[in-house]
Amino acid sequence: MKYVLMFAETPQYAEDLAAMGDAERQAAYDDVGRWFADNAARITHHVRLQPAHTATTMRKLDGRADVVDGPFVEGKEIVIGFVEVEVADLDEALAMARSWPACPVIELRPVAP
């Protein structure tokens, strides 16, 4: 079964990461690298997104398409990347998400057939 795990960053997490010294930040990045290595057999695709301010959003309404700069949602949690995984079930996907060492919010969604 395929799931997508979407990783969302909170303002506090971004501030904490920015406040780290170089060695501490590198250790955090190394933790993420180990997570990817430990789960490589189940990860079928992964993407790190550019920051939210680089987004362009199109809203289609009443036959019109309005294009604006910025993310589609003004929110405190920003999706910064995702992985697609092949797992037996939701429990296995949740176990992977529990071991994620970085951003504090993870949305899990099954991939449509």
pLDDT by residue (tens digit) across 37-55?
A: 999 999 999 999 998 888 8
pLDDT class of 60 with cuts at 50, 70, 90: confident
- For residue 45, give every residue at least 6 positions away whose Cβ sits within 8 Å of its Cβ, in sequence order, or none: 83, 84
CB 96 within 8 A of CB 108: no
pLDDT higher than 90, residue 57: no
Q: Which two tokens stand for residue 40?
A: 């490589």
- Map out the domains of the chain with their CATH numbers: 2-110 (3.30.70.1060)
CB 72 within 8 A of CB 63: no
Tell me the whole-structure pTM to 2 decimals: 0.84
For the segment 3-30, the average pLDDT, to the nearest whole number, is 95
